[in-house]
Amino acid sequence: MDMAKVDSTRALVNHWRIFRIIGVHPPGKRTVWGRHYTAYSMVWNVTFHICIWLSFSVNLLQSNSLETFCESLCVAMPHTLYMLKLINVGRMRGEMIRSHRVLRHLDRRLGCADERRIIVAGIEQAEFIFRTILRGIVCTVTVGIVYMAVASEPTLMYPTWIPWNWRDSSSSYLSTAMLHTTAIMANATAVLNLCTYPGTYLILVSAHTKALALRVSKLRYGTPLPAVRMQAILVGYIHDHQIILRLFKSLERSLSMTGFLQFFSTACAQCTICYFLLFGNVGIMRFMNMLFLLVALTTETLLLCYTAELLCKEGESLLTAVYSCNWLSQSVHFRRLLLLMLARCQNPLILVAGVIVPISMKTFMVVIKGAYTMLTLLNEIRKSSLE
pLDDT at 182 over 60: yes
**For range 220-245, the mean pLDDT:** 82
What mean pLDDT value characterizes the chain?
Answer: 89
Distance CA 313, CA 226 (A): 33
> What is the DSSP code string of 44-106?
HHIIIIIHHHHHHHHHHHT--SHHHHHHHHHHHHHHHHHHHHHHHHHHHHHHHHHHHHHHHHH
Burial (0-12, 13-18, 19+ Cβ within 10 Å), 28: exposed
Point out the least confidently predicted range of 175-189, 253-267, 324-338: 324-338
pLDDT at 13 over 90: yes
pLDDT at 152 over 60: yes
Predicted pLDDT at 153: 87
Q: Which residue has the higher pLDDT, 180 or 382?
A: 180
pLDDT at 2 over 60: no
Predicted pLDDT at 222: 62
Predicted pLDDT at 339: 86
Q: Where are the beta strands (DSSP E) in the chain?
A: 352-353, 357-358
Model confidence band, residue 231 (pLDDT cutoffs 50, 70, 90): confident
Q: Give the tens place of pLDDT for each residue, 293-316.
A: 899 999 999 999 999 999 999 999
User: What are the boundaries of each domain within the chain?
Assistant: 8-386
**For range 213-222, the mean pLDDT:** 78
Q: Give the tens place of pLDDT for each residue, 105-121.
A: 999 998 888 999 999 99
Q: Give the tens place of pLDDT for each residue, 329-378.
A: 677 888 888 888 888 888 888 889 877 889 999 999 999 999 999 999 98
Predicted pLDDT at 217: 84
**For range 217-239, the mean pLDDT:** 79
Which of 99-103, 148-152, 255-259 is predicted most confidently? 99-103
**For range 312-321, the mean pLDDT:** 90
Q: Is 335 helix (H, G, I), strand (E, B) or coil?
A: helix
Predicted pLDDT at 80: 92
Predicted pLDDT at 223: 63
Model confidence band, residue 220 (pLDDT cutoffs 50, 70, 90): low
pLDDT at 91 over 60: yes
pLDDT at 221 over 70: no
Distance CA 75, CA 60 (A): 9
Q: Give the tens place of pLDDT for each residue, 37-49.
A: 999 999 999 999 9
Predicted pLDDT at 336: 86
Distance CA 270, CA 378 (A): 12
Predicted pLDDT at 247: 92
Q: What is the pTM of this model?
A: 0.92
